[in-house]
Amino acid sequence: MGETNYKITKNSAGGNPASLRPGRWLDLYSGTGSVGIEAISRGCSEAHFVEMDSWVISEVLRPNLRNTGFLDDSVIHVKRVESFLTYAEKFPDTYKKFDYISVTPPYMEVDYAKLMGQISRSPLIGEDCFVLVEYPLKTKMPETCGHLIQIVDRRFGRTNLLIYGPEWAEKKKSNS
């Protein structure tokens, strides 16, 4: 799959993309795969799914990818997210960098400070990457994620969605 460098659209940086620039998506804690599947349907060229539950993969995720026709555009990693990130950190040439990373963990089973520290150090974050993190209210989130800054932090009921991105996206947002 060839890589193409496109700037993200104004709508994408605002957190409500109708379409995405071509790129690679990493769906951490993927479960059913709905986030990564949505990313491919909106223009991403490939998605990697990280899920540790083999039953969920065989009975839900893989069938969802097959039913949507996105199985050939996907890679499934059967690992704990923390192990996947540790492996990528130890062997940085194993995976190419990602353009988008979504983080939708089970709230009560994650230490967000540790997880965000691990993601911040990850060689998986591309230069113009966007990291989308779903987190519960009253959770203290860092101002940055590696070289990325907070672009959007929105509340949806009892959930927040935080988007980290490159500085140029913040400048575009303030000019719109």
One-letter amino acid at 120 equals: S
3-state secondary structure of 92: coil
Residue 31 lies in a domain: yes
For the chain, report the end-to-end CA distance as a whole number of angstroms.
33
Is 2 a residue whose pLDDT tops 60? no
Is 171 a residue whose pLDDT tops 80? no
Contacts 24+ apart (CB under 8 A), 59-68: 60/31, 60/32, 60/33, 61/30, 61/31, 61/32, 61/33, 64/32, 64/33, 64/34, 64/37, 65/33, 65/37, 68/37, 68/40, 68/41
Residue 15 lies in a domain: no
Residue 7 lies in a domain: no
Residue 68 lies in a domain: yes
Residue 2 lies in a domain: no
Is 1 a residue whose pLDDT tops 80? no
pLDDT digits (tens, 9 = 90+) for 34-90: 999 999 999 999 999 999 999 999 999 999 999 999 999 999 999 999 999 999 999
Query: What is the residue range of 86's domain?
Result: 21-175
Based on the structure, what is the number of domains in the chain?
1
Nearest-angstrom CA–CA distance, 116 and 92: 18
Residue 115 lies in a domain: yes
Which pair of tokens denotes residue 169?
């996206």
Residue 71 lies in a domain: yes
Residue 30 lies in a domain: yes
CATH label of the domain that carries residue 26: 3.40.50.150
> What's the predicted TM-score (pTM) here?
0.85
